[in-house]
A and B are shown apart, each in its own frame.
Chain A
Amino acid sequence: MAKSQKMRRQFWQTAHLFVENAVSNNIVLIQALGLCPIIAAGTSLKNGVTLTACTAVVLIPLSFFIASVGSKLPKWLRPAIYVLLAAALLLAAGYVLGTYISPELYAKLYLFIPLMATNLLYTRSVGLSTVINPVGTVVDALGSTVGFGMVICAISALREMAISDTLWDVPLGYTIALPEAAVPFTAFILLGFMSALLQWCRHRVSAYFHRKEVEEA
């Protein structure tokens, strides 16, 4: 009985960690990280999904590594090791993408993959000092990846629909095309509005719980 209770508590803790990273403390919309790839490369859904996959490939193993081995390494060596590991993972991801999946996509995105990874990396190495157990860290990384992926996929899908009337290269069948949506400021404006929406939701949710607490008390 006690064991199952403990497991349930752990499950809810993990779920809370995941949801917090994916939604309520979103890595892009609240922490304003990884903006560069979204603004520059988030112009079609394929790009968005590829970048999300690359993030997952780098972030999750790296987080696991940092949480499990990082504390045993000497402090001065840690950043170098992290960066080297991230570079190795990225090279592998880029190689797989370029040779097996889609060379064209790799040609389009090869600049942004390392950019995005370093961008995310700095937060992880800072943020991970609080989360010590490896499972929690992986969940944390997974949440961040999902959060990043949701935002970049939403923005790149919207922009792809506006630019070329297609979604995942499938024509949608209306005739208005605005190639001008590829300019960076559309992404900035979309991000601004999404961020505002998220903050509004957060505010509403916390106000709801506050009201409930007051009613109970």
Chain B
Amino acid sequence: MNKPLAPHIRTEARTGHMMLDILLAALPLGVFSYVNYGLRPVILLLISMGTAILCEALCCLVGHRPLRTVMDGSAAVTGLLIGLLMSPMVDYWVPMLGAAFAIIVVKAPFGGFGRNVFNPAAAGIAVLTFCFPRRMFSYPAISTVSTLPLSMTVEAGEAVVEQSLAAQLRAGATPSLSKLQLLLGDFAGPIGATAALILGAFIVYLLFRRSVSPWTVIPYFVTCAVIAWLFPLTGMGRLYSAMAQLCAGYVLFTGVFFLNDPVTTPRFWLGRLFYGFFTAILVMLLQRIGRAEAGSCFAILIMNALSPIIDRWSWHVWHWLMRLRHFRKEVKAHG
């Protein structure tokens, strides 16, 4: 059994360190949500990760793969990403369902880590968005006084439900948040997708660690910011609107986590550039016209399907250009 466990990467040690980097991000985000909402979001994260790992182990047993593939951390990361996009007051079974779907339906049938066509976490979130939009998008208001109860379901009286930033932008309402609040993530939203400063620091850390490629991340954020700056959704100035649109929904989170999935992104640098660029356009489009409040996961899934084509075509385009240059040099040299 000398099958490569992750065919997209040559050395096995590398996958482990990438996954560890991403798991590291959970710590500050977990602490952040613990401070805001109490223990409930932390339990949600743990449940989601645990389900993903269990399902992965199950799939390994069914598919006669060695159980040690569970330890590469990819299943834990999938569970973690699903947990981070939950509303803090969601029922405990919702992330379980999402994680189980991601592993059993989206990841394992394609052959496990390294062979999956779609990002499992994005697919899990897409299914949950599609099936339980009301549960997914009702966020509790941040209050430092009371914490969320730990019971299975948060009853109507136990938390103040607040309209999320994405919903406010879609409705054309003017958000009442200051720029500082936007940066600090001091507004209602998913467990791990509001803290803009933490996510920003984390992407810088990943770039320095070379766990992610700047060819996807920079085009994505630049395009998102430019689109938001050109077509503001609020009437409070272009800069504020750009900030609010980047912080709303899953836009930042997509750029930090989903976009940098090593398996489903193109390998060639020009392909990565196109991938980031088109994902940003789709994400910003879905923010305005999509049916769901936060549709970034759909944008990622669409781009995942196109990613091999983008990779190949960009490679051909680049080499055609290089040949052209070479040819012109030859013509110049020999007349």
Contacts and interface: CB of A to CB of B under 8 A. Distances in A.
Interface of A: 178, 180, 183, 185, 189, 192, 196
Contact of A180 (B105, B109, B131): B131
Given A180-B132, A185-B130, A192-B109, 8 more contacts: A178-B131, A180-B130, A180-B131, A183-B130, A183-B131, A185-B127, A189-B105, A196-B109
Interface of B: 105, 109, 127, 130-132
Contacts of A192: 109
Nearest to B130: A183
A188 B74 CA distance: 26
A216 B66 CA distance: 34
Nearest to B128: A180
A189 B105 CA distance: 8
A196 B62 CA distance: 13
Contacts of A183: 130-131
Nearest to B132: A180
Q: Please give me the 10 A-B residue pairs with the lowest Cβ-Cβ distance, nearest first.
A: A180-B131, A189-B105, A180-B132, A183-B130, A196-B109, A183-B131, A178-B131, A180-B130, A192-B109, A185-B130
* Residue of B105, B109, B130, B131 with highest tally of chain A CB at under 10 A: B131
Nearest to A196: B109
B96 to A, nearest CB: 13
B157 to A, nearest CB: 22
11 contacts: A178-B131, A180-B130, A180-B131, A180-B132, A183-B130, A183-B131, A185-B127, A185-B130, A189-B105, A192-B109, A196-B109
Contacts of B109: 192, 196
Nearest to A192: B109
Nearest to A179: B131
A45 B132 CA distance: 25
A24 to B, nearest CB: 22
A178 to B, nearest CB: 8
Contacts of B131: 178, 180, 183
Nearest to B93: A176
Contacts of B130: 180, 183, 185
A196 B105 CA distance: 12
A178 B130 CA distance: 13
A174 to B, nearest CB: 14
A183 B109 CA distance: 22
A56 to B, nearest CB: 33
A203 to B, nearest CB: 14
A39 to B, nearest CB: 15
A9 to B, nearest CB: 41
* Residue of A178, A180, A183 with highest tally of chain B CB at under 10 A: A180
